[in-house]
Structure 1
Amino acid sequence: MPLARRTLITAAIAAATLGAAPWAHAQADFPTRAVNIVTPFPPGSGPDALLRVITEKLGQLWKQPVVVQNKPGAGGIVAIEATRRLPADGYTLVQFDSEQLVALPLLYISRARDISVLDHFDMVAPIFSTPFLVVVPTGSPWKNLDDLIKAAKAAPGKITYGSWGVGSPGHLGGEQLELATGIQMQHIPFKGQGDMFTALATGEIAWSLGSIPSSNAMYKAGKVRYLAVAGPRRILPQMADVPTSAEAGGRRDFVQSSFVVLAAPKGAPAAVRQKIAQDMAKVMQDPELKARMETFAFERIDWSPEEIVKQARAKGQMYDTLIQRKHITLE
């Protein structure tokens, strides 16, 4: 081989090696200091409670502090604005649910560019999905979801359902049930899930959607009961008698769930994001973490970052239909 050609090949190999070295080095060393995980969920909520177990396990694995920072407010906008311009180095991560990924830009059209999570953040790792249940006061006359639908058809616009805010999964789930069954109901938004379930228990509203973490205290106190799981599968061995929406006389296409992921300000090194994802997968196998997820009826999801984006966009298309249908806005 001519000397000049050998020299060019050697130089190319050296350049490639040098180019790869910082990425490999970043992955091997990360993290060398504390990692902050910002969550838009309030302390004590289901996503926050699980995140704290995750951060404890990550801290043990990384031998570095992993700190949870709660920044609730405006449906997730406070957390987005606090983090989207931070250094893209992997040392700031953000917990988002699917509604914050895709519903917020549809609800705040004038601010959509600034709060579009899929534009400003890289998806890093999935955490869990959570099914929702149809919840009614204990004294409700309805025995199943079919009873609820028949009551709504008999009195268009009179049956009330609550949610923890305009554009929340509880609100959009109610809109989805309307669209799937041809009924009309009255949406009553509350400032939070605590206020909503108090109103539900006293009969101020007729029904709501709720997750196990948000509704279980009222359920155990005997103040509410479950009509159905808004999904294709029954959940939790201790609640195996709660039917799916299809089994309870509803519709097979009435499925409402939310998924939660870990993201990073856009531009974090690919090797760092990959290491975080790999280590997240490790800690999600921890027996304590698995037990906590089972208690909450959270379901482990094993998606790549690309699959997270795909699933988010699919949910976004559904939400766009629901939001445009009634011109729902937060502006």
Structure 2
Amino acid sequence: MRASKLIVAAAALVMSYSVSAAHADEFPSKPVNVILPYPTGTGPDTVMRLVGDKLKGYWGQPVTIENKPGANYWSAVDAFKKGKPDGYTLFQTENWMIALQRHLFKKLPYDPDKDFSPVSPMFQANYFLTVAAGSPWKTVSDVISAAKAEDGQLTFGSSGVGGAMHMGAAKLQNATGIKLTHVPVKETPQIFVQIANGELSMAFGTASTAGPMLRGHKVKFIAIADKARNPNFPDVPTFAEAGGPADFVHKSWLALFAPQGTPKPIIDKINSDVTRALNEPDVKAKLASIGFTAWTSTPEELAGTLAEETRLMGEIAKSQNISLD
């Protein structure tokens, strides 16, 4: 009796997978909608539209981009949660929302684990420790020594509590034991103007956000928060090379998610085609021009990265008493 039940269960599982696989073969048979919590014209939006055009060509179906910025990303999440788990509603977001918000708010209008199914990574953006071009600091070691001597008087700019720039400095403080003063600045470009003018001591910036002031020789990159140098900035050392903490990594990454319950064959198909699009030479070149690096991997590896990022962000938020409640 037990053996027969197992055989029936196995047959049902095989049949279910076969049906899902058949649906994947037919997917998509209508337009696919991708919801973004970012405004039109931003880096994530630019990349999604570029990849969406490639997918349209592969699939023979429109890929619509629905921008819903603001409200801590929650307006976009609300629209996403109304979608069916069939592959026709996708959500593009970053690690700061999916891995960090659960540690900043006591209550969220979504469940990061139950509402989202990892589909495909898209790209990463490196962060650089940025100071004034005329600063005497040449290494991370110099900054750490100055911060210890000043005991909390050195400042760092960010675009807001719990954002990527804030968390970069929080990571640095956590790893070295130094104390810095956080200065939120509403407009991100203004942060680097204030660094150049001596109003702020430093910030974690990307090639995109700090680029204009860097090209104008008003600020400089002391180190890249990664384990390896960036080929676009070969002269900028890693944190470890510049006397900072070993293996210090801080980067933003964006990925695609589907509603939980979306059939695995459909997720795998989307992942395969997004990976194909990101490997197209013109897509890679466009990403590089705006300071991003294409990131391709499997849904399972994305899930693993998300789990590790969630753990690390929780440790830092708790250690540095970062909260938005």
TM-score with structure 2 setting the length: 0.90
Q: 1:214 to 1:271 in 2, by over 3 A?
A: same
Select between 191-200 and 15-24 the one with higher mean Cα deviation.
Answer: 15-24
Find 1:106's aligned residue among 99, 103, 107: 103
Select between 215-224 and 292-301 the one with higher mean Cα deviation.
Answer: 292-301
Is the CA contact (8 Å cut-off) linking 1:165 and 1:192 kept in structure 2? Answer: no
Residue 58 (structure 2) pairs with residue 55 (structure 1): no
The Cα of 1:27 is off from its aligned counterpart by 1.1
Give percent identity, aligned residues only.
34
The Cα of 1:187 is off from its aligned counterpart by 0.9
Residue equivalent to 2:4: none
Find 1:240's aligned residue among 226, 234, 239: 234
- Output the CA distance in 1 between the equivalents of 2:98 and 2:13: 36
Is the CA contact (8 Å cut-off) linking 2:284 and 2:293 kept in structure 1? Answer: no
Partner SS for 1:319: helix
Find 1:286's aligned residue among 280, 285, 291: 280
Q: 1:44 to 1:319 in 2, by over 3 A?
A: same
Q: 1:72 to 1:16 in 2, by over 3 A?
A: closer
The Cα of 1:42 is off from its aligned counterpart by 2.8
Residue equivalent to 2:321: 327
Report 1:141-152 matches (<5 A): 141-152=136-147
**Aligned residue-pair number:** 318
The Cα of 1:200 is off from its aligned counterpart by 2.9
The Cα of 1:78 is off from its aligned counterpart by 2.7
Residue equivalent to 2:206: 211
Residue 79 (structure 2) pairs with residue 82 (structure 1): yes
- Output the CA distance in 1 between the equivalents of 2:93 and 2:57: 23
CA-atom RMSD, angstroms?
A: 2.3
Q: 1:233 to 1:93 in 2, by over 3 A?
A: same
Greater CA radius of gyration, 1 or 2?
1
Select between 226-235 and 80-89 the one with higher mean Cα deviation.
Answer: 80-89
Report 1:1-331 matches (<5 A): 19-20=16-17, 22-111=19-108, 114-237=109-232, 239-331=233-325
The Cα of 1:178 is off from its aligned counterpart by 0.8
The Cα of 1:31 is off from its aligned counterpart by 1.4
Is the CA contact (8 Å cut-off) linking 2:174 and 2:320 kept in structure 1? Answer: no
Q: 1:90 to 1:151 in 2, by over 3 A?
A: same
What letter is aligned with 1:94? Answer: F
- Output the CA distance in 1 between the equivalents of 2:111 and 2:199: 35
Identify the structure with the greater helix proportion.
1
The Cα of 1:330 is off from its aligned counterpart by 0.8
Partner SS for 1:323: helix
- Output the CA distance in 1 between the equivalents of 2:39 and 2:198: 26
What letter is aligned with 2:81? Answer: R
What letter is aligned with 2:94? Answer: D
Residue equivalent to 1:6: none
The Cα of 1:44 is off from its aligned counterpart by 2.9
What letter is aligned with 2:207? Answer: I
The Cα of 1:13 is off from its aligned counterpart by 11
Q: 1:110 to 1:16 in 2, by over 3 A?
A: closer
Partner SS for 1:135: strand
What letter is aligned with 1:289? Answer: V
Partner SS for 1:233: coil
Select between 177-186 and 14-23 the one with higher mean Cα deviation.
Answer: 14-23
What letter is aligned with 1:81? Answer: D
Is the CA contact (8 Å cut-off) linking 1:235 and 1:297 kept in structure 2? Answer: no
What letter is aligned with 1:154? Answer: A
Q: 1:22 to 1:164 in 2, by over 3 A?
A: same
Give a deviation string over 1:224-261, Cα, whole Å, max 9, x none: 21111011111034x21111111112111422112211
Give a deviation string over 1:129-165, Cα, whole Å, max 9, x none: 2221111122323222222111111111111101121
Gaps of 5+ in 1: 1-10
Gaps of 5+ in 2: 1-7
The Cα of 1:212 is off from its aligned counterpart by 1.4
Q: 1:21 to 1:245 in 2, by over 3 A?
A: closer
Is the CA contact (8 Å cut-off) linking 2:275 and 2:297 kept in structure 1? Answer: no
